[in-house]
């Protein structure tokens, strides 16, 4: 099978994990360039040892590399601020971009929810690690009963949060909250991230709370179970931590104040507890937040180039 050449911008934790993941599992993508700004970074050093062409001159250096015109797709794993500049430079080339920062220039994408409708987008945004873990669940519940409010809490080990993640905390909450509504379908959304300093480091945990109208416990559990199975096709460490909980709220329950609905007579609180274990491509297994971003980005990248291949064949 022929491969499509891609470049990765960002030689930190996420970019390096994505590099190793593509090299290990992808039969559709070939990393033709790995880009950073620190020539001594561990990511660039690893890439050079693996025989991947590198530059430490950022996006401008990428454009000067031999063979850039053969690159079909660029993954940006830098920061929200850096992506604004990178996308401006890349826009003139027409190359497609998968954005792993919270910049959200292009449409937000969560693979099992809306990837099929974004096959021709020039720039797609991977939301955040918390968004990739929780929005599929919000969307699954919303598919069987209107979600009037959804709140997600993403807890990650502080060891797995590199400089880029720490610099993007505000963007994380804003982008994830918006994606809960725009992609997940909730009438109102809220996102919280917790950097947990516990030792030994904790595996990524995600909690999803949905106020859903007219849902049954059986309907909630069936919808969530089906979505977990789907996500596990590309994130093998994604799993339910315990059985889905569904509780009908009484008319005087203070949680109903969060509910964006005039009629609040049939609202249930659905609580979903998730765990994401990493594949260990670059960081240890506790860094599920890193793994779900790179696994989802790889899935999106492969889907985009395969869509291009089918269109060309037709």
- Kindly list the domain boundaries of the chain, sorted by start residue: 4-126+292-313, 129-287
pLDDT at 313: 41
pLDDT at 309: 57
Ligand-binding annotation for 114, yes or no, is: no
Q: Could you report the per-residue pLDDT of 146-197, keeping only the tens digit for each? A: 999 999 999 999 998 877 778 778 888 999 999 999 999 999 999 999 999 9
Distance, CA of 30 to CA of 73 (rounded, Å): 10
Q: Could you report the per-residue pLDDT of 191-217, keeping only the tens digit for each? A: 999 999 999 999 999 999 999 999 999
Ligand-binding annotation for 11, yes or no, is: yes
Ligand-binding annotation for 61, yes or no, is: no
Distance, CA of 202 to CA of 286 (rounded, Å): 6
Which helix (H) or strand (E) segment is 23 a member of? helix 13-25
Q: What is the mean pLDDT of residues 6-23?
A: 96
Ligand-binding annotation for 155, yes or no, is: no
Q: Which residues are catalytic?
A: 129
pLDDT at 283: 87
Q: Could you report the per-residue pLDDT of 54-68, keeping only the tens digit for each? A: 999 999 999 999 999
Q: Could you report the per-residue pLDDT of 215-261, keeping only the tens digit for each? A: 999 999 999 999 999 999 999 999 999 999 999 999 999 999 999 77
Ligand-binding annotation for 123, yes or no, is: no
Which helix (H) or strand (E) segment is 267 a member of? strand 267-276
pLDDT at 314: 36
51 SS3 class: coil
- Per the model's pLDDT, the better-predicted residue between 236 and 307 turns out to be 236
As a whole number, the mean pLDDT across the chain is: 94
pLDDT at 171: 84
Ligand-binding annotation for 125, yes or no, is: no
Angstrom distances, CA of residue 211 to CA of 22, 26, 197, 253, 295: 38, 39, 30, 12, 29
How many helical (H) and strand (E) elements, i.e. helices and strands, does the chain have?
10, 12
Ligand-binding annotation for 15, yes or no, is: no
pLDDT at 102: 87
Closest C-alpha among 191, 169, 192 to residue 179: 191
128 SS3 class: coil
Q: Could you report the per-residue pLDDT of 96-152, keeping only the tens digit for each? A: 999 999 899 999 999 999 999 999 899 999 999 999 999 999 999 999 999 999 999
**199-236 exposure pattern, b = at least 16 Cβ within 10 A, e = fewer:** eebbbbbbbbbbbbbebeeebbbebbeebbebbeebbe
Give 26's pLDDT tier (boundaries 50, 70, 90): very high
Distance, CA of 235 to CA of 134 (rounded, Å): 13
Residues 6+ apart with CB under 8 A from 143: 185, 223
Which helix (H) or strand (E) segment is 34 a member of? strand 29-35
In 158-244, beta strands by DSSP E: 189-196, 204-213, 238-240
* Architecture of the CATH domain 4-126+292-313: 3-Layer(aba) Sandwich (3.40)
Q: Is the pLDDT of residue 49 over 70?
A: yes
Q: Using only C-alpha atoms, what is the Rg of the chain?
A: 20
* Architecture of the CATH domain 129-287: 2-Layer Sandwich (3.30)
Give 23's pLDDT tier (boundaries 50, 70, 90): very high
The domains spanning 4-126+292-313 and 129-287 adopt the same CATH topology: no
pLDDT at 312: 47
Q: Is the pLDDT of residue 84 over 70?
A: yes
DSSP state of 119: T
Ligand-binding annotation for 39, yes or no, is: no
Ligand-binding annotation for 301, yes or no, is: no
């Amino acid at each position: 099978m022929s491969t499509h050449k891609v470049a990765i911008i960002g030689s930190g934790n996420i970019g390096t994990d994505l590099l190793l993941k593509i090299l290990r599992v992808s039969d559709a993508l070939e990393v033709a360039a790995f880009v950073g700004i620190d020539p001594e970074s561990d990511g660039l050093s690893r890439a050079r040892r693996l025989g991947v062409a590198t530059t430490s001159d950022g996006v401008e250096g990428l454009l000067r590399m031999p063979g850039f015109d053969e690159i079909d797709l660029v993954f940006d794993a830098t920061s929200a601020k850096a992506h604004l500049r990178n996308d401006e430079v890349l826009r003139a080339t027409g190359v497609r971009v998968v954005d792993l920062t919270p910049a959200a220039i292009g449409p937000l994408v969560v693979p099992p929810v809306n990837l099929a409708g974004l096959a021709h987008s020039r720039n797609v945004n991977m939301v955040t690690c918390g968004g990739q873990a929780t929005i599929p669940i919000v969307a699954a519940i919303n598919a069987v009963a209107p979600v009037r409010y959804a709140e997600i809490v993403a807890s990650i080990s502080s060891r797995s949060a590199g400089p880029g993640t720490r610099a993007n905390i505000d963007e994380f909450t804003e982008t994830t909250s918006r994606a809960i509504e725009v992609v997940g379908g909730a009438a109102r959304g809220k996102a919280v991230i917790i950097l947990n300093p516990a030792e030994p480091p904790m595996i990524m945990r995600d909690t999803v709370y949905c106020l859903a109208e007219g849902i049954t416990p059986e309907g909630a559990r069936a919808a969530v179970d089906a979505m977990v199975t789907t996500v596990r096709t590309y994130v093998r460490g994604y799993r339910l931590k315990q059985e889905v909980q569904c509780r009908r709220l009484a008319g005087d329950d203070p949680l109903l104040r969060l509910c964006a609905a005039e009629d609040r007579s049939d609202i249930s609180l659905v609580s979903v507890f998730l765990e994401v274990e990493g594949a260990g491509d670059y960081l240890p297994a506790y860094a599920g937040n890193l793994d779900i971003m790179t696994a989802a980005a790889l899935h999106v990248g492969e889907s985009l180039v395969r869509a291009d291949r089918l269109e060309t064949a037709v």
